[in-house]
Structure 1
């Protein structure tokens, strides 16, 4: 079993507010908010960015809130034990921050109906379980455009974690927009079946580079891909956080997940007694998906093109999945002027036309 840590990260409020004629008035106990992490805050990517959101909650609420996190929790039975640990220790709001925590979250929530649970990127809800996600595919459209312009070989590598709709959306969106600006663009996908395993991610990057890929994208959490890109002198994009500190030359932009506003909003809802089991899916226009700074390696005209696309997506003027588009087998999917609806995207289990290979089942 991987090592896990249980860390309380904010001071407990004082036990008394002052003296009065009727005696001391006790301070209200802080709201305890817990986080379950699939990786470690030092991963530089997915978990790091969720932890930045947790820290933003502490800063925003001060002594009114106490936060705790358990890191490096495997998806499975260990997740249920870790979530239960938080529930038994007085946490009234618990965020579980990986897709594979979905069933564990539901199972624990059934046992603790008075606790509010929030599950990231899942789709199962309950009276005390909300879901939240980000429209990562919007960001993939922007960096896919940059990748298509920057690739000299036309071969773009994509290191994918698990074959779930969220990841498939990203692959398709990146490919569609790379192809729009570079008709010779190819998308080569390697599935690693992990969110965070630097060795596997590095091996996948090496394999793609050996096939002639000169731009790397990833839907995994470590900076190992960035390191391999730097060794090989190819371009790469930061995933979930900026990652520029890890490989400033090959990293030409990034997708940044900005969870802080959502975490603050949902914590406030519990404090106010207005929390409801919502299904949140926000994107560029909401500030939840952010395109990181585009490096000077990218020509100004490509940077302007990418930012114009970002703005059109953010304003709602353009949808990344707009027809005409066919499925991989050549069958019609979206007609001219038609955009994919959320129900289709939430269950996406196919590649678009032009991507080679099969989606694992």
Structure 2
């Protein structure tokens, strides 16, 4: 008669098989947990634009430096706001990326369209206003910095004429023009702002021509909502002043460049990826951070800025941080004289997101 040992009893075999299966599952979970989070970025311009895209890529690099092996990032640059955007975003989603950041206003609809097709992928869109269960929007309260640039411009101008180079006539850009003008007129009511639209985010040639035209029209302070340092370079050549935009552009105009309105996107990217890693990320959000949160950062002031202007600048910045200064607080009129905001009130976020009018002091009308 055959003797059944401990090793070959049927019950023990089942127990061993179950234990082995559990061990394999645990190993798989550990291996999966060790896989880096795959994060993709879509850029409107070249990484070397010296402005908007460059600053976003600095944020991506800060993310990698902060989280190390926990993340693996890729980026695609020079993606136009056309059908190409949807194609690129779809390819990134299909390619196994866990999160995709699309970093220009015109990517909003393509991002939402692709998000519907890939419900397990999380999407983040910069400067938009729409969200979904697996998509959020985020932006900088860049108008806070624009207001402070205006304060400096209003105090230092000799001609009382400011120049602004606009990309596209969308609310994001219009509110920066308005805030810049409001800051200037808060210290110098004689200010007039002239605007030239170039219908592009990045075209150094067009930006240069616009800067030269504005100077010819009397502007001795140049600001922009475009991505290249061309305006700063022109200001340096012509002996007037300018402000950097998105990035510190002082190296392009050491005498002309007074300060720059920049973004530290890294603080936001690190915060969002940490939420994803912790399993606390949620959709249907719209995040707007400003100077207080460290997303909007003003670069060091040029030593040529007078001491009294520096003092005023710092006082106004502190007031924005503590909430006692709201750039779009009433009374406000548009440039036709119509009252838009009554005294004691201020524009709400929803109103700022859809603003389509110039404040008093801006010349001309908004292109249709």
Q: Give the TM-score normalised by structure 2.
A: 0.90
Aligned to 1:348: 355
Secondary structure at 2:101 match in 1:
strand
Could you tell me how far 1:315 is from its partner in structure 2? Answer: 0.9
Could you tell me how far 1:221 is from its partner in structure 2? Answer: 0.5
How many angstroms apart in 1 are the aligned matches of 2:265 and 2:110? 22
User: 1:177-201 CA deviation, whole Å, 9 max, x = no partner?
Assistant: 2112122211000011111111111
Could you tell me how far 1:23 is from its partner in structure 2? Answer: 8.6
The correspondence of residues 123-142 of structure 1 with structure 2, limited to 5 A, is 123-142=129-148
User: 1:34-89 CA deviation, whole Å, 9 max, x = no partner?
Assistant: 00000111111111110011001101111111000000111111111111121121
Of 288, 298, 303, the residue aligned with 1:291 is: 298
Correspondence 1:335 to 2:342: yes
Correspondence 1:103 to 2:123: no
The correspondence of residues 1-361 of structure 1 with structure 2, limited to 5 A, is 26=31, 28-277=34-283, 278-361=285-368
- Runs of 4+ displaced beyond 4 Å: 22-25
Count, aligned residues: 341
Secondary structure at 1:67 match in 2:
strand
How many angstroms apart in 2 are the aligned matches of 1:26 and 1:161? 47
Secondary structure at 2:242 match in 1:
strand
Aligned to 1:6: none
Of residues 302-311 and 328-337 in structure 1, the stretch that sits farther from structure 2 once superposed is 328-337
Secondary structure at 1:159 match in 2:
strand
How many angstroms apart in 2 are the aligned matches of 1:147 and 1:120? 28
Distance 1:183 1:26, change over 3 A: closer
Could you tell me how far 1:328 is from its partner in structure 2? Answer: 2.1
How many angstroms apart in 1 are the aligned matches of 2:244 and 2:91? 33
CA contact (8 A) 2:191 2:361 kept: no
Secondary structure at 2:186 match in 1:
helix
Distance 1:296 1:81, change over 3 A: same
Which protein shows a greater Rg? 2
Secondary structure at 1:213 match in 2:
coil
Secondary structure at 1:157 match in 2:
strand
How many angstroms apart in 2 are the aligned matches of 1:194 and 1:75? 11
Could you tell me how far 1:322 is from its partner in structure 2? Answer: 1.3
Secondary structure at 1:245 match in 2:
helix
How many angstroms apart in 1 are the aligned matches of 2:267 and 2:361? 37
Secondary structure at 2:124 match in 1:
strand
User: 1:288-308 CA deviation, whole Å, 9 max, x = no partner?
Assistant: 111111111210110110111
More helix by share: 2
Secondary structure at 1:290 match in 2:
strand
When the two chains are superposed, the root-mean-square deviation of aligned CA atoms in Å is: 1.5
Gaps of 5+ in 2: 1-23
How many angstroms apart in 1 are the aligned matches of 2:27 and 2:239? 70
